[in-house]
Amino acid sequence: MQFTAIILAAGTGTRLRPHTDDRPKALVPLHGVSLLHRAVSFLRLLAPERIVVVSGSGAAAVSESLRAFAPDVDVFENSDYTLGSVVSLKRALEQVPGAFIQCNTDHVYGRRLAPVLLAQADAGITAFCDTDRPLGGDDMKVWQEEGRLVRLSKTLESYKAGFTGIIMCDAERRSLFDAAHEAVLQQDRRLGVEHILAVLAEPGRQVRIGDMSGHRWLEVDTPQDLELAEQAITAEPDAFNFDGMTEPDG
């Protein structure tokens, strides 16, 4: 499947302070490499036709960093970055026809995950989840039946998996995804991308569950998360460091 890779990198990262006092969250270094450079490097393993980044907070710094690190990556600015991630995704999809994969700049994935994603990228709208990660109050929980998304929410009391932040959509179902996206934008522009999946899940269960179980990934929202991620990469550098990575500016 040919597709475009989209990275949402517009957030302010207030929960990650003081690391974001002098830079946008996307450019916070993790083990010597910015979160954004890590996301780009991982997505290159999937061989997309194109990589698109949506900036917001610190947009000029993000663009400058990518010009040096990955000049082939297209950057589009979301000036309404204080709203929800549905607005950032809208900014990208206006420029991206057909199939896409979307992830967030604060999610760090290991190299062994790439073939797992590609093996499940052949059809439909897919939300990638895992079943072997302890979930906390801020994690997006998923109830699925027969490989289809039924419900997802941070507040689900009963759940079978956790959402990992990766969405794939093929070209055939792109109009379906766009219609659900527009419905969420009309409802509340402060909402997150996961609400699009919720609209698609009811009542037709139109989202397939992709399985990432057994493949560790890291989320960096707080200074504690950053410290734990540093420890994880120190313990498994080959899993999370890719060819072509460079140290972030500053």
Query: Average pLDDT, whole number, for the chain?
Result: 90
In this predicted structure, what is the pLDDT of residue 22? 86
Mean pLDDT of all residues in 154-174: 92
Please determine, looking at this structure, whether the domain spanning 4-213 carries the CATH number 3.30.930.10: no
pLDDT, average across residues 94-112:
93
| Residues contacting residue 172 through CB under 8 Å, at least 6 positions apart | none
Query: How far apart (Å, rounded) are the C-alpha atoms in residues 218 and 183?
Result: 31
Task: Give the model's pLDDT for residue 249.
Answer: 45
User: CA-CA distances (angstroms) from residue 85 to 12, 21, 39, 181, 192?
Assistant: 12, 21, 17, 11, 5
Confidence of residue 246 (pLDDT cuts 50, 70, 90): low
Nearest to 92 by CA among 157, 12, 181, 220: 181
At residue 247 the predicted structure's pLDDT band, cuts being 50, 70 and 90, is: low
- Percent residues over pLDDT 70 in the chain: 97
